[in-house]
Amino acid sequence: MHAQVVLFDGFDPLDVIAPFEVLSAAGSITGGAITVELACPGDPHDVVSGLPPLSLRATATLDPARADLIMVPGAAGSLPATDGSPPADDSIPVILGRTLDTALPALLKEALERPGLTVTTVCGGSLVLAMAGLVEGRPVTTHHLGLDALDATGAVAVNARIVDDGDLVTAAGVTSGLDLGLYLLERELGPQVAHAVENLFAYERRGVVWRATGIVPAIAVSGS
């Protein structure tokens, strides 16, 4: 199984590093059952994160034809103003919006159309797909501050730690990248591998994985 973790200008470093390390550790303890690399649209190069700036090197070109799993992070930047003033250039919505002017949306569309490939996101990564019109009508999650923005795009926002919709698996706030990585290990490689990495990292996965299955509650219960 080959995974590519996406880098774009302004990415959130923790969104990238947490799942990257989880998947890499699984590769080490399984003798290479999973491989993972940092990738970007276009030629490999150093990519600068959002605030505070941190450079990571994309060692590969994002390529849905050779990946089994693609993970899209969110952005690191300032929060939108609450007084109605225009968002700053370094704000998270603006950084995410700039991805629409790159090759990333077309590559993600190709990824979602390829059978057997799973697209995953951490935090604002789901908003990249949503703003590109790629997840309309599908259940997704993001950081709780972005749930209304998801709804506005036509996606079905779910306030959950992880949402599994088959070939699309989304995770909430930045630390949920650890939970997402461990869940994907359990789903794709089995619970023994996921448990071993959980022990290695001394971290217990949090939250229920939401799926559109089972009994629907008769009473709505909201959560933070």
What local confidence, expressed as pLDDT, does residue 54 receive? 96
pLDDT tens-digit readout, 44-81 = 999 999 999 999 999 999 999 999 999 999 999 998 77
Residue 18 and residue 28: Cα distance in Å, rounded?
A: 16
Domains and CATH numbers, the chain: 2-210 (3.40.50.880)
Residue 73 and residue 161: Cα distance in Å, rounded?
A: 15
pLDDT tens-digit readout, 82-133 = 787 888 999 999 999 999 999 999 999 999 999 999 999 999 999 999 999 9
Judge whether 194 and 147 are in contact, CB under 8 Å: no
pLDDT tens-digit readout, 143-165 = 999 999 999 999 999 999 999 99
What pTM does this model have?
0.96
Cα distances from 53 to residues 75, 76, 77, in angstroms, run 11, 9, 10
